[in-house]
Amino acid sequence: MEEYTHFNGEALELVRDTNIPEAKSMLDRILTLVNPPIALKAKQLGGRAQQAIIDKVRTAVKNIFGILLDADMQPMDDSDQRHVDTLRDNVQKVRASFNLPFPKVFQDHKSMLAAWVSNNFADPTVNFSPMYFDDLSLLDQAVTLVHERSHTILRISGHPGTGDSPVCIVPHEGKRLGFDVAIRNAYCYEWLAISLHPNYNPTPYRDLCRDNSISGH
C-alpha cells in the first residue's frame, strides 16, 4: 500500500505532521471528557473552570447525540449509559484507526468536497481535493479526517438526518437528530470533535448562518 499518492511534499507533511496528530488529539479529548465518572469527580472537586467544561460537554453530547450525560443520572435508568458506551466504543475505534497507516490520495481536480471515502468500506482510502488545502482551516482539516475515517471505520454511508451538505449548523448545537440517527451520521462525530476543542468559537458558524439567510432572500 502506498500511504501517500500524488501529494507534494508540503501537503504530505501538513497531513502527516499536523492534521493527523490534531485529529488524534480531538478524539482523545472526547474519550477523556465524555465519561460520566470523570464528570462526577470533577464536580466533587468543584471549581468554576471544571464546571464550565462539564457543562460544555453535557450540552454538546445532548444536542448532537441526544444523550443525557448527567452525573446525577438515576441509577435505575441505564439507557443513556448504554448510549454513552456505544458512542465511546465508536470514538475509540475511529481513534485506533489513526494509529495504523491508511491510503491517502490527492485528486488534483475541482470537487464539491474537500475529502471523501468510498462506500465500499473494504477500501479505506481517503481522497483529498485542492479544496482541503486551499479552503479549510487547520482545525477543519483535522475534523474532516475524523469525519471521513468515521464513515470507513464505523461503516456508515450517507448522512442520515442531515443530507450530504448540512448548512447553518453551529457544531455544539448539533441538529437534534436523536441517538439512533446521530450515531450513524459522520457529521455528528465531526461536530462533537470541534465543539470540545479549546479553540472552538461558535461565532463564525452563527455568522455564516446569518449570511446564508440574508442571501437566501
Minimum CB separation of residue 132 from Zn ion in Å reads 13
With contacts defined by CB under 5 A, name the span among 48-56, 91-99, 180-188, 196-204 that binds Zn ion.
Answer: 180-188
Nearest residue to Zn ion, by Cβ distance, number only:
186
Number of residues that bind Zn ion (CB under 5 A): 1
Binding-site member from 27, 186, 192, 194 for Zn ion (CB under 5 A): 186
**Cell numbers describing residue 77:** 435508568
Q: Which residues pair with 198 in a beta bridge?
A: none
Q: Which span (7-15, 97-105, 184-192, 209-217) binds Zn ion, by CB under 5 A?
A: 184-192
Whose Cβ is closer to Zn ion: residue 183's or residue 186's?
A: 186
Question: Which residue number, 39 or 186, has a Cβ lying nearer to Zn ion?
Answer: 186
Secondary structure of the chain as H, E, C letters: CCCEECCCHHHHHHHHHHHHHHHHHHHHHHHHHCCHHHHHHHHHHCCHHHHHHHHHHHHHHHHHHCCCCCCCCCCCCCHHHHHHHHHHHHHHHHHHHCCCCCCEEECCCCCCCCEEECCCCCCCCEEECHHHHHHCCHHHHHHHHHHHHHHHHHCCCCCCCCCCCCCCCCHHHCCCCCHHHHCCCHHHHHHHHHHCCCCCCCHHHHHHHHHHHHHCC
Each residue 57-96 as x (binds Zn ion by CB under 5 A) or -, in order, gives ----------------------------------------
Select 47 or 163, whichever has its Cβ closest to Zn ion: 163
Least distance between Zn ion and beta carbon 87 (Å)? 18
Please identify, using beta-carbon distances, which residue of 15 and 186 lies nearer to Zn ion: 186
142 contributes a contact to Zn ion by CB under 5 A: no
> Are 98 and 90 contacting, i.e. CB atoms less than 8 angstroms apart?
no
Per CB under 5 A, the segment of 25-33, 107-115, 178-186, 199-207 that binds Zn ion is 178-186
How, if at all, do strands 4-5 and 104-106 pair? parallel
* Interacting span for Zn ion (CB under 5 A) from 5-13, 58-66, 85-93, 186-194: 186-194
Instruction: Candidates 23-31, 168-176, 179-187, 207-215: pick the segment binding Zn ion (CB under 5 A).
Output: 179-187
Quick count: other Cβ atoms within 10 Å of Cβ 123?
10
Q: Does 196 contact Zn ion by CB under 5 A?
A: no
Question: With binding defined as CB under 5 A, does residue 192 bind Zn ion?
Answer: no
Site residues (CB under 5 A) for Zn ion?
186
